[in-house]
Amino acid sequence: MSKDTEVQALTRVPLTTLSEDEQLFRDSCRSFAEGRIKPLVRKMDEEAKLDRSVIPELFDLGLMGIHVPEELGGGGGSFFMSVLAVEEISRVDASFGVFIDVQNTLVNNALMRWADDGQKRKYLPRLAKDLVGAYALSESGSGSDAFALACRAVDNGDHFLLNGRKLWITNAIEANLFIVFANVNPDLGYKGITAFLIERDFPGFTVGKKEDKLGIRASSTCELILEDCRVPKANVLGEIGKGYKIAIETLNEGRIGIGAQMVGIALGSWEYGAAYSKERKAFGKPLSEFQAIQFQLAETATQIEAARLMVYNAARLKDAKQDFLKEAAMAKYFSSQVAEHVTSLVVEIYGGYGYTKDYPVEKYFRDSKIGKIYEGTSNMQLQTIAKYLLR
């Protein structure tokens, strides 16, 4: 049995969870990931940068504006379809997975919900066609405490002047549009936080050093430097002083995308582990014939399926305009736990080979760790879940 046949038999998505259009969309994402991205994965990881030639193809396939309305140049799909794309791309490469995740679940999502008509007409068609976006909230002193922002914005007539530094900004090298959060009135605390749409060529804006990371190495993670960065008042996103609301609500939705990324990582790793267990022999028979391996594969496949359905449920609730805060936090928390556990186990199934870069499973292991950290640490997810349940 070929590996492709095994994957279809062992890890197919239950058709009852997907419509026909969703199934076709998912299959096209998987085909692109397997055919176009997979041959580039090792080189991108070693060089710590995305292959730029793939990015225009992502736009051409509609993967950078999945649920942007058709009248604004997007695909007119659902948030759930964005989740499917993130899962399928991450199954092959988590760096491109988070690249499209940030574009769809954070940047596009924030503009569709909070931008005025002029901003939507100006930016959303390009975000669907050729413009990469980034989301800049974190700073050196504001990670989990997201509202302890040191970045300041000063009203200067027809524009604001922004000063400060942002850290850990995904897509920073490739992006030309940044949603940047700064405080216009520190005396008001979080009620002074405001979101700004900053174009890369605005005076006073610079992309700083790229971080040398453990995992998702091809994904650019950089510092942003704002030195009297001049931002027109027309580029305030939402209302002045309402940036905290934009940040909270957008990140609540973004958690679902990270959950999908973790499901993809876990699934991609598991598939390699299952295939290898049939090929590798010990004591005269394949590893897959040992009950210990069978049980480990069965247990982790069950965990992956549970994580996937939690992510799908949160995305469906979001599309249905129902409350999904608890479900999103649970999905991110659980899927990141599962991804770390599954990828670690698969390294062990490979034995010594799994600890080398000759096989892809060590990369899945490295890529999985970020799931417990960005867009809200696991402890922050548990806090959110507990507050929701006990309020």
Catalytic positions: 375
Do residues 251 and 80 touch, judged by C-beta distance below 8 A?
A: no
Instruction: Report the length, in residues, of the chain.
Output: 391
What is the spatial distance between Cα 184 and Cα 161, in angstroms, rounded to a whole number?
10
Tell me the C-alpha distance between 12 and 8, whole Å. Answer: 5
Q: Which of 152, 139, 167, 157 has the alpha carbon at shortest distance from 204? A: 152
Place of tokens 């405080």: 183
Angle at which helices 325-350 and 243-279 cross, to 10° = 30
DSSP 375: T
- The one-letter amino acid at 90: S
111-119 long-range Cβ contacts below 8 angstroms, 24+ apart: 111/237, 112/67, 112/68, 112/69, 113/246, 113/249, 113/250, 114/195, 114/237, 114/238, 114/246, 115/197, 115/237, 115/238, 118/234, 119/197, 119/234, 119/235, 119/237
CB 260 within 8 Å of CB 90: yes
Query: Taking Cα atoms as reference points, which of 73, 37, 62, 33 lies closest to residue 52?
Result: 37
SS3 state at 324: coil
